[in-house]
Structure 1
Amino acid sequence: MIRIQQMKILKKLLAAVLIFGMIISSAVSVGAMPTVYPSITSDPGDTSTQVVEIDFPFKGETVSAEIILGLAPYYGAKHEGSKSTPLFGCSPEKYYAAVAQDPAQDEMYAKLLGFFTWYAESHGLTGDEYVELLTTYVQNIPYKTVGAEVNFPIETVIEDQGDCDDKSILLAGLLARSGYAAGVVVLSEENHMTAAVKTKEGESGRSKNQISEYILIETTRFAYIGEDSALIRNRNKNRTRVREEGVILVGGGAAAYSASWQIDTILEERGQIVSAIEARWVRR
């Protein structure tokens, strides 16, 4: 009887060891699997093109152009599996950088930024005004929820529409390709995303010429760089400034935006005017 009981215990132990070994083996196999991030596979034989029209107001003028882009990367971005999300070991930085910086989009970035660089130089824009130019271009793209998946920038440009994450990733990609430290910020409580660019205070700022933090850029509507999104309005002051650890970077350039103190002054004065108007209406 004792022998039979011992045999039963031994079988249970062997079964437990076998199950444990299978679990360890599976874990090792998963760990050995490469982490696959979103990527575009273009058909080299596809020579189809589309004209992308640029038309938006900026500094009292209209910025307009027609840019011809190849559609092979666009169709590749639309292909099933191009936006695969890693199940394990997913790095948000690598994920969004893969979407924003996929090399299949090089032509798109080169042609867009080639035009915007020419426009900035021909109109004598400063570096800060160049950031504002790119920002206004993206803000002008119609807002539309296009699904749960994050779109590649080339999809947003070709389709001329996108939601908060699509437009923010496009702007971050444009800024990063222009040499700025830029990325996106996920506001999980509001289910919202904005772009962000590294900022330094200007001559009248608190820390002269010292790069300090990142400033949020709302992309779903026309707004000043650093102006509160409608979704996070009435929150804590300076919510539009975040430390680098709060930004998912898609590019690590050295350039920074230095006009944030001017925006602060504009917004502060505007707030005082609005408060005075509201107070006057209350008294009436």
Structure 2
Amino acid sequence: MRVRPVLWVLLFLSVVLCMATVVPDIISPGTAQARYPSVVVETDTPAFETISFTFPYQTSLHTIEVTLDRTLFEAAARTPKYAAFYGRPDENMLLAGYYRSFVSDGAQEQAYEAAAVPLREIRDRNMLTPDEYADLITVFVQSIPFDHAPDDPAPKFPVETLLLGTGDCDDKTILLAGLLAHEGYDAAMLIFRKDAHTAAGIRSDDALAWYGGYAYTETTSYSLIGLPAGALGSEVSITDTPVIIPVGNGTTVYHAADETTYLGRRAMAALAAVPALRARIDELEEANPSVDMVPADSRNARDSAEALGNKTAMDTGEQEYMACLAEQQALSQSYESLREELDKNIRLHRYIMANQHNRAGAYAYAQTIP
């Protein structure tokens, strides 16, 4: 998977720093002050356009309609996506201010509310808990197609990602963090500069909240809240410590990460068990653990003794035959047991992988598998 480098942002900002020393009138006077992207809609007449999104959540396929203002989209699209600053501000503070300008831009309220209204309807209709509602919002954003190689590397405002119906890791993370914050959750952006990746975070009370109390939440594909990148086969690999950028004023905490922890552990353990089980099965298959494969010599010796009426030889042959038969039956039972264990682990891993849009269902299923 190709993710969009975040380092271009710093390059953009460095270039603007040089510009600021030459053209000081484009920025406010003072030390370490900055001007970030801000959308200005130049008309009071909205032009609404409805976009449909279809995505799985729990056991159903949901379709929602999001009505967006195209004039807002056009204003966002033409907004310069760079920051101008004066002085030498802290790099992380500058990065935080830059990304917050996309998430918290005042004009995006219409886009957030347009997406939130149908999501709330699903929440209310299905009586979802706050944890389940966070899952729903996350799955919705994850369902938006991931753009591996955008023509324009600049981040997009939420209205752009929604109306275009696609986005890269920055775009989808901005949208998810903004939507979660809009709906009252304590959310953040996690910027992994060395890994050139961006993810969302939601405040969690579980041990998986490694990043300043925020649980890692992938946006480029379906993934359970709290699972670290690459935990269940994702192509994203994280080695860096992120810059953590809290957004909004939400206070709701995610309390279901213990289930995520359980599912991640079960899925990884099931996958790890497969190679050894297959190797053992291959060994037994080479030994042909079948009743029909009881050594011919033992069977023939017993039959010959019986034909000659030699009772002692018959008894010895019968004992040898029964011992061989018992050994083969034990091997056969071991083989069947290993096959069942292999099938169980494969089924469990596949089910969890295929149901990352359905935490509650995957958790319930996993608990039925010993």
**TM-score above 0.5, yes or no:** yes
Deviation at 1:47, TM superposition (A): 2.9
Amino acid at match of 2:72: P
**Secondary structure of the corresponding residue to residue 184 of structure 1:** strand
- Which shifted more, 160-169 or 248-257? 248-257
The residue number in structure 1 matching 2:225 is: 225
The reply to whether residue 177 of structure 1 matches residue 182 of structure 2 is yes
Partners of 1:74 and 1:27 in 2: how far apart? 30
Aligned with 1:148: secondary structure? coil
Instruction: Give, in whole Å, the separation in 2 of the partners of 1:50 and 1:265.
Output: 42
Show the counterpart of 1:112: 115
Partner in structure 1 of residue 39 of structure 2: 40
Q: Matched residues in 2 for 1:170 and 1:232: separation?
A: 19
Higher strand residue share: 1
Stretch deviating more after TM superposition (122-131 or 140-149): 140-149
Deviation at 1:26, TM superposition (A): 8.2
Whether contact under 8 Å (2:65, 2:118) holds in the other structure is no
- Counterpart amino acid of 1:99? F
SS in 1 for 2:156: coil
Give, in whole Å, the separation in 1 of the partners of 2:44 and 2:236. 46
1:276 aligns with 2:279: no
Contact 2:188 2:214 in 1 (8 A): no
- Once the two structures are superposed, residues 74-108 of structure 1 have per-residue CA deviations (whole angstroms, 9 ceiling, x without a partner) of 10111152x22234436222221210121111111
Q: May I ask how many residue pairs the two structures share in their alignment?
A: 245
Residues 169 and 183, structure 1, Cα contact 8 Å, conserved in 2: no
What's the offset of the Cα at 1:49?
A: 2.2
Give the number of the structure whose alpha-carbon radius of gyration is greater.
2
- Structural RMSD (CA): 2.7
- Larger mean CA deviation between 177-186 and 62-71 belongs to 62-71
- Structure with more helix by fraction: 2
For residues 7-64 of structure 1, the C-alpha deviation after alignment (integer angstroms, 9 at most, x for no partner) is xxxxxxxxxxxxxxxxxx9899877165211110112244322111121010111121
Q: Give how far 1:122 is off.
A: 1.1
TM-score by length of 1: 0.78
Q: CA deviation at 1:186?
A: 1.1
- 1:271 & 1:36 partners in 2: Cα distance? 46
What residue number does 2:101 align with?
98
Shift of 1:129: 0.5
Quote the residue 2:66 is aligned against. Answer: 67
Amino acid at match of 1:39: S
Identity, % of aligned positions: 26
Q: Which runs of 5+ in 1 are unaligned?
A: 1-24, 207-211
- Give TM-score scaled by structure 2 length: 0.61
- Aligned equivalent of 1:188, options 176, 193, 197: 193
Q: Provide the residue aligned with 1:85 in structure 2.
A: 83
Unaligned segments of structure 2, at least 5 residues: 1-20, 283-370
SS of corresponding position for 1:262: helix
